[in-house]
Amino acid sequence: MATPGGNGGPAQSPSAQPGQAQLNVLRQYIKDLSFKNPNAPRSLAPTETQPAINIQINVIVQQLAQTDHEVALKLEGKAESAGSVLFAFELTFAGVFRVQNVPAETLQPLVMIECPRLLFPFAREIVANAVRNGGFPPLMIDPVDFVSLYRQKLSEQQPQAVPTISRANGNSSRGHSIMMIAWMFSCGTFTMRKTPA
C-alpha cells in the first residue's frame, strides 16, 4: 500500500498535532531563467578590474487556495566593467507552500520571510551554475537577511497602510496576487583576475 508524502506529495508530519502551526513545501520549480552574455568572447578575457555587480530581488506571493500559496523569488542581476555588460541574468524560482493553523497576523511575515528563505539556496545555486556555464567564475550571491529586508520595506511603507493578505476570489482562475516586495543591493563574491603571462 502506498503511503502519502515524501517526493510523491504532501503528508502530515507524524509529530504534527491538530491545531499546530505547519509550513509544508509542496513543490518548487524554475518558472523563468535567462542568461545573457552579449559581448562574448571579448567579455571573457581575464582582467584585474572587478566588475560592478547589482542584483535585485523581488518576492511575489500569490494565494492559490485557502491554505496554499505560491511564493516566487525573482532575481535579476547584471555585471558591468568599463561601461560594458559582462553578463545579465533573470531567474524566477518559485515554490508552493501549504500554511496551516497560522494566525492571520503572522501569515504575511511567514510567507514573505520564511518561504523566500527556504527557496533562496536553490535559486543561488541555479544562478551560480548559469554564470559558470556562461564562461565566468561562479557568482556566489551573499546570503540575504529576509527579516531585515521585510522590516525595512514595512518601515518605508509607513504611514501607508501595511498590505494585508487577501483571499483569492471565485472570479480568479489562478488566485490573487497579494503582495510584492522588491530589494536592490550590490552583491556577491565574484573575482576575475588577469592570468599571469
Residue 1 lies in a domain: no
Q: How far apart are CA 84 and CA 123, in angstroms?
A: 26
Q: pLDDT by residue (tens digit) across 59-102?
A: 899 999 989 999 999 999 999 988 889 999 999 999 999 999 88
126 belongs to a structural domain: yes
Residue for grid cell 516586495: 181
* Domain tally, the chain: 1
Give the mean pLDDT of the chain: 77
Residue 65 lies in a domain: yes
User: Do the domain assignments include residue 11?
Assistant: no
Digit-coded pLDDT (tens) for 117-144 = 999 999 999 999 999 999 998 999 988 8
Could you tell me if residue 32 is inside a domain?
yes
Measuring CA to CA, how many Å separate 106 from each of 36, 62, 100, 164, 174? 39, 16, 12, 10, 24
Domain that holds residue 157: 21-163+177-185
> Taking a C-beta distance cutoff of 8 angstroms, is the pair 5, 11 a contact?
yes
CATH number of the domain encompassing residue 44: 3.10.420.10
